[in-house]
Chains A and B, each alone.
Chain A
Amino acid sequence: MLEPGMDAMIDPANERVATEREALFELLDVEKVYEVTKSEGFLKRSRRKLAALDGVRLRIDQGASMALVGESGSGKSTLLRVLLGLTEPTQGLALYRGRSVNQMRDAGPDFARDVAMVYQDARGSLNPRMTVGQLIAEPLRHFGICPEAEIPQRTNALLARVGLAADVAARYPAAMSGGQIRRVAIARALASNPTVLVADEAVSGLDVSTQAQLLNLLRKLQKDMGLTLIFITHDLGVASYLCEEIAIMYLGRIVETGPTQAVLDNPAHPYSKALRHSAPEFFEPISDPLPGEIPSPLDLPPGCRFSGRCTVAQSDCLANDPALTRQGQDRAVACYHPFAMSNISPEGIKERHVTF
């Protein structure tokens, strides 16, 4: 399991724990394997293992804002469920403030109070038979945030914080628009005074103008309340606006992490680069779309999981699976032949890519 780059990665990381911000979440080689049965003809079934997460290493500091980016099927949602303690990892450890997430969840309501979640399907996450006021009052009452008499006042304050008028408290979710309903979901998440706000695609599927409002709101909330933000998205633009750090996932593994600006300006992993260049830009043709489909996690290619679609794959990429190793100051990449991370402009990279 131990690979040469790993010691080099862990030691400086531990130093950082002592010197810098406290690590809130730490994922240590987390694996999550699902067993799937597949029928092969009459009365014949084969059991196979599907690794939704495969050796994920991630560290989220207190007060940080982390974007988890990846295609659908890359394991973002499973990673989220592990972080929230909804599923137990098959292998490895998911730690919250140095303690196992599942233990924390079983120990009492403190973890639930600290870590709040905004679902992608905000409307589905709100009981349609409760008014907005009742929905927001539920966590207030459950966690005993404020005395019973102050609940209406507090609800109005939360609604005002997310930019909704106080009179929506009497409405039912069905009578509200998509943008409003996400604000309600955010208000409910904020009700418990959380330390961490986990948002799963919280702005996808909305009008661009509504998206912008929500992004501004989230950024403001993060700044004002000192929230740690874990934001799951497939939109690099959203990630770069909202989050200081980014983790790019591919087929159940984090292939590159680092400060958002640096990673997006100067991607080291071929997949990050392809993602960066497949985002449409104004009046420009999409430069080099990624060839092929994301392979099935049931039969991963040998060696590096990206090798089949990689434009710069070499013979050792097909033989061994690269682990996430530290590169430079605060970046890490899972690639044997990363692009140089020196300060060259994106154009420079493109030229270099052409000459390959």
Chain B
Amino acid sequence: MAINGTTTPIAAARLRRSGMTRKSMFLRRPFFTMALAITFGFALCAIFAPQLAPFDPVAQSIEAMMAPPDSVHLLGTDSYGQDILSRIIHGTRYALLIGLCSVALGAIGGLVLGVAAGLASGKTEWILLRVIDSILALPSLILAVAFIAILGQGVDKVIIAVALSLIGPFARTVRSDVLQVKVQLFVEAAGLMSIPRFTVIRRHILPNVLFPLLVQVTIRISEAILVSSSLSFLGIGVTPPTPDWGLMIAEGRSFVSFAAWMSGMPGLALALLLIALSIVGDAMREEFDPKLRTGR
């Protein structure tokens, strides 16, 4: 009873303090708050695209070809007379879908490969490390191009190609975390309790590796979106007339001297989303990575 009496106010104070720091994270980082709002805006666009878009994104119109921004077509139209705003709103779906799915797949692949490389020893470790190195040796765009060449075109193929090209960086960070965690005393203590190795990995190593990986995921989403847009821009990603930003930029490229809005608007949307995502990712890392946290 006495113990309860003393701990309750302490716990309450701790709650209050943690509430204060949580609130101040948004106040302390105005750019983070702005970037988060923008990211949420894009996410809403993606979810409610059919309701938000004023036109059908693939409806062509001869009368309104290459119309500059006006009151009907807010961001103008492209060479087929398709409304650019509607295409950008629908394009958000593809950008976020490809970004999230490929990063999720890449993170899972990187986790498996990284944990295996971190725990293995001898020849197995050597082979796994060479696999990771060979993925890391090429920039992710070049790798994605190579995988697309094998897999063919389409949204699902782009997701797989980008995911495969992201496995390398994920595997490397996971492996270095595993190397750090596996020498910790609590892992030895679990071994001392004769807990089976597989259970030790699942219960003690994985949870301590997963959290830094999640921070990595938020940072890599923007890279995945950029790579997928680059693939479309090169004409080997998703196929037209899918409203994809990279594809739209590529289509407007030849008219850029007299109809700059055709490439400029989707380019602006892409830049805005990527900058917002990287600010969010950086803030998350600085906030939750104990190694970067300096005395506040």
- Are A and B associated in one complex? yes
* Residues of A participating in the B interface, judged by any CB pair closer than 8 Å: 84, 86, 105, 108-109, 111-113, 117, 119, 121, 124-130, 138-139, 142, 165, 167, 192
Contact A165/B3 with A121-B185, A124-B186, A142-B193 known, Cβ cut-off 8 Å: yes
Asked if B208 is at the interface (CB within 8 A of a chain A CB), the reply is yes
- By beta carbon, the residue of chain B nearest A115 is B192
Q: Which residues 141-195 of B sit at the A interface, judged by CB distance below 8 A?
A: 184-186, 188-190, 192-195
Task: Find out whether the CB atom of B207 lies under 8 angstroms from the CB atom of A129.
Answer: yes
6 contacts between A and B (CB under 8 A): A86-B188, A124-B184, A125-B185, A125-B189, A127-B203, A128-B186
Q: Which of B4, B189, B207 is the most central at the interface, judged by chain A CB atoms within 10 Å of its CB?
A: B189
Task: Find out whether the CB atom of A124 lies under 8 angstroms from the CB atom of B185.
Answer: yes
Asked if B7 is at the interface (CB within 8 A of a chain A CB), the reply is yes
Task: Find out whether the CB atom of B193 lies under 8 angstroms from the CB atom of A192.
Answer: yes
- By beta carbon, the residue of chain B nearest A134 is B203
Q: Which residues 113-151 of B sit at the A interface, judged by CB distance below 8 A?
A: none
Task: Find out whether the CB atom of B184 lies under 8 angstroms from the CB atom of A112.
Answer: no
- By beta carbon, the residue of chain A nearest B3 is A165
Interface of B, helix, strand, loop or mixed by DSSP:
helix
Q: Which residues 184-228 of B sit at the A interface, judged by CB distance below 8 A?
A: 184-186, 188-190, 192-195, 203-204, 207-208, 211
B interface size (C-beta, 8 A): 18
Contact A129/B195 with A119-B189, A124-B185 known, Cβ cut-off 8 Å: no
- By beta carbon, the residue of chain B nearest A110 is B194
Task: Find out whether the CB atom of B189 lies under 8 angstroms from the CB atom of A117.
Answer: yes
Minimum-distance CB pairs A-B, first 4: A112-B194, A124-B185, A109-B194, A125-B185
CA distance A127 to B191 in the complex (A): 13
Task: Find out whether the CB atom of B192 lies under 8 angstroms from the CB atom of A86.
Answer: yes
Distance (whole angstroms) from the CB of B210 to the closest CB of chain A? 9
Contacting residue for A139 out of B185, B193, B203, B211, CB 8 A: B193
Task: Find out whether the CB atom of B195 lies under 8 angstroms from the CB atom of A142.
Answer: yes
* Residues of B participating in the A interface, judged by any CB pair closer than 8 Å: 3-4, 7, 184-186, 188-190, 192-195, 203-204, 207-208, 211
CA distance A86 to B189 in the complex (A): 11
Task: Find out whether the CB atom of A112 lies under 8 angstroms from the CB atom of B192.
Answer: yes
11 additional contacts, CB 8 Å, given A126-B189, A127-B203, A192-B193? A86-B192, A109-B194, A112-B194, A117-B189, A117-B192, A119-B185, A124-B186, A127-B186, A127-B190, A130-B203, A167-B7
CA distance A167 to B2 in the complex (A): 13
Distance (whole angstroms) from the CB of A124 to the closest CB of chain B? 4
CA distance A119 to B185 in the complex (A): 8
Contacting residue for A167 out of B4, B207, B208, CB 8 A: B4
Task: Find out whether the CB atom of B207 lies under 8 angstroms from the CB atom of A165.
Answer: no
Q: Which residues of B contact A108 (CB under 8 A)?
A: 194
Distance (whole angstroms) from the CB of A57 to the closest CB of chain B? 25
Contacting residue for A112 out of B3, B188, B193, B203, CB 8 A: B193
Q: Which residues of A contact B7 (CB under 8 A)?
A: 165, 167
Distance (whole angstroms) from the CB of B71 to the closest CB of chain A? 56
Q: Which residues of A contact B204 (CB under 8 A)?
A: 127
Task: Find out whether the CB atom of B208 lies under 8 angstroms from the CB atom of A128.
Answer: yes
- By beta carbon, the residue of chain A nearest B187 is A127
Q: Which residues of B contact A124 (CB under 8 A)?
A: 184-186
Distance (whole angstroms) from the CB of A96 to the closest CB of chain B? 14
CA distance A126 to B189 in the complex (A): 8
Distance (whole angstroms) from the CB of A5 to the closest CB of chain B? 36
